[in-house]
Amino acid sequence: MTNTGPLWELAPVEIRTNNPPPVLANPINATELAVFASEGVDVALFQSTSGEQSGVVVSHNVTKRDRADRQQPFNLRIAALPT
């Protein structure tokens, strides 16, 4: 394709180099550490293995939803725990 007119751009993009972002420390919450200890899981081994695989997501307080969440019901309830 050719064009002799001014400002001819099919798909303009800016190309520049960027430094990679720094690797941030990701400390494990005390609650999760207690769960690992109670289940007998080696935290260092778990971290090295999950980093090579796909990772792990931990969610807290998932009973609250916003109006944009259409996949979960709005009236989530947690059953009373036996005391």
Spans of all domains in the chain: 28-69
Q: Where residue 1 falls among pLDDT bands split at 50, 70, 90?
A: low
67-79 pLDDT, tens per residue? Answer: 776 776 666 666 6
Indicate the residue type of 70: R
Whole-structure pTM value: 0.43
26-47 pLDDT, tens per residue? Answer: 788 888 899 889 999 998 888 8
**How many other CB atoms are found less than 10 A from the CB of residue 32?**
14
19-28 pLDDT, tens per residue? Answer: 988 877 778 8
**What span, in angstroms and rounded, lies between the C-alpha atoms of 27 and 34?**
13
Helix axes 30-39, 43-52, angle to 10 degrees: 100
Would you list the DSSP string of 28-62?
Answer: PPHHHHHHHHHHT--HHHHHHHHHHTT-------T
